[in-house]
Amino acid sequence: MFTHLACRLCTIDNWTTWRNVEGQTTAIRNHLKSGEHGKLWHDMVVLQKLKGWETLGTAYKDTSSGEHKEFLLPGFYTRLVKWIAVDDQALNVVDCPELRDLLLFIGAQLEDEDIPHRTKLGQLISTRFQVDPGTSGLCWLDFVGITTKHYVPGPPKLT
C-alpha cells in the first residue's frame, strides 16, 4: 500500500498530493471537479458512468470562469417556479421580507416589483402547467391519488 497519493493530471511543478488514509475520496473528487481538471473529470465520469453520472447531464458547466448567463426576468421566473415546486415551498414564501431582501441583494438587475407576490406566482405555476402538462402533471396525479385514497362516499350509516 502507498503512503501518499498524487494527482496524475497536475503538472509536475504544481503537483497535488494526499496522505493515503480513509476519507480521502471526497477530497480527491473535489480536487478533480474544480479548476483545470473540471472538464476532463466531468467527461470521464459521464463516459464511464461513475457514481453520480446521471445528475451531471451531458453538458459541462465551467464554474471556474465565473461567467453566468445573462439575467432575464423569464429565466428568473422559471427558476423561481422550479424551486417552489421541487422544494415544496408555500406560495406565500415570496412575500417573506427576508427572502425578497436576499433576492434584491444578490440580483443586481432585480427590482422589488420584478419579484412576484403569491398571486402572480400562482399564475406563473398555472401557466407552466398549461405549457408543459406532461412533466408537471405527474406530481398532481400522485397528489390526487393520495387524496382520493381516503375518500368516504356519503355520511356514515347509523344503526
SS (H, E, C) 7-53: CCCCCHHHCCEEECCCCHHHHHHHHHHCHHHHHHHHHHHHHHCCCCH
| pLDDT value of residue 102 | 92
- 29 and 79 in a single domain? The answer is no
Q: Are 125 and 80 in contact (CB under 8 A)?
A: no
The verdict on 87 and 140 lying in the same domain is yes
Residue 86 sits in the same domain as residue 52: no
Q: Do 144 and 77 belong to one domain?
A: yes
In angstroms, the CA 149 to CA 137 distance is 18
Residues 77 and 139 in one domain: yes
The confidence score (pLDDT) of residue 24 equals 77
Count structural domains, the chain: 2
User: How does strand 17-19 pair with strand 4-6?
Assistant: antiparallel
pLDDT for res 116 = 93
pLDDT at residue 58 in the model? 52
Asked whether residue 15 falls in the same domain as residue 82, the answer is no
Q: Are residues 137 and 87 in the same domain?
A: yes
Query: In this structure, are 49 and 103 located in the same domain?
Result: no
Question: Domain range for residue 117?
Answer: 73-149
pLDDT at 148: 47
Q: Tell whether 68 is covered by a domain.
A: no
Predicted pLDDT at 157: 67
Rounded to whole angstroms, the Cα distance separating 85 from 140 reads 11
Question: Could you say which residues of the chain have pLDDT below 50?
Answer: 135-149
CA distance 86 to 5: 40
What is the pTM for the complete model shown? 0.45
